[in-house]
């Protein structure tokens, strides 16, 4: 089912702004400080989870003023749907992770199946330590793995369908200037 530009524009016009851009940027600053405090001497590999993690990673990286290697991976359960399905690895990291500290950066921790699979994969590759950073931790009781608790969280939100700052509505509005909740969702 395709989406029209009219629908996409209407979704944005009717959405509730939960966090304005300035609030999100302040959260990213706090994340950067916490990550720096924890990883400045760790020589980490940072993985941006595409496509959702692109914006938060892009804003976070210049604030991490210590040596690190930045890479990306692409694993998704959503595609352009509003709900998750089977995990699809589009791009797996080629980096050797043995005995390395890994930081996985993503836009949101919702149910956690995607992030959990990525963490497990990094551990299977021999990473010494795997940490996670998410811009948004959505609060609800449907987490697929209650033990998956991000070490670094920018913001917490209620259980609503979100878009903006990397999160999308059917492939659109990753670029929205804030974090928005879909009307009625």
Predicted TM-score of the model (pTM): 0.91
Whether the upstream peptide bond of residue 51 has omega within 30° of 0, thus cis, is: yes
Domain 5-181 listed as CATH 3.40.50.300: no
Q: How far apart are CA 110 and CA 136, in angstroms?
A: 8
Q: Which residues pair with residue 160 across a beta bridge?
A: none
Do residues 146 and 164 make contact, with C-beta atoms less than 8 angstroms apart? no
Mean pLDDT of the region 145-152: 90
Mean pLDDT of the region 83-102: 81
Do residues 60 and 107 make contact, with C-beta atoms less than 8 angstroms apart? no
Closest residue by Cα to residue 58 from 67, 49, 21: 49
Mean pLDDT of the region 114-130: 93
Determine what percent of the chain is predicted with pLDDT higher than 90.
77
Residue range 42-59, pLDDT digits in tens: 999 999 999 899 999 999
Residue 83 pLDDT greater than 60, yes or no: no
Tokens of 103: 């930081």
| 3-state per-residue secondary structure call for 122-157 | HHHCCCCEEEEEEEEEECCCCCCCCCCCCCEEEEEE
Determine what percent of the chain is predicted with pLDDT higher than 70.
94
Tokens of 2: 């395709």
pLDDT of residue 88: 76
């Amino acid at each position: 089912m395709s989406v029209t530009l009219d629908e996409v524009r209407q979704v944005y016009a009717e959405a509730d702004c939960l966090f304005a851009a300035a609030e999100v940027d302040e959260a990213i600053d706090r994340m950067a400080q916490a990550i720096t405090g924890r990883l400045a001497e760790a020589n980490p590999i940072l993985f941006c989870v595409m496509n959702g993690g692109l914006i938060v990673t892009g804003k976070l990286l210049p604030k991490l003023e210590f040596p690190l290697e930045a890479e990306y991976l692409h694993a998704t359960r959503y595609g352009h749907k509003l709900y998750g399905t089977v995990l699809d690895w589009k791009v797996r990291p080629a980096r050797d992770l043995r005995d390395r500290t890994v930081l996985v950066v993503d836009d949101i921790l919702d149910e956690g199946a995607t992030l959990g699979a990525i963490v497990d994969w990094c551990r299977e590759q021999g990473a010494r330590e795997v940490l996670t950073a998410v811009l948004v931790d959505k609060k609800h009781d449907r987490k697929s793995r209650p033990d998956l608790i991000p070490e670094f969280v920018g913001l917490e939100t209620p259980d609503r369908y979100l878009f903006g700052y990397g999160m999308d509505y059917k492939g659109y509005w990753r670029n929205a200037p804030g974090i928005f909740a879909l009307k009625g969702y």
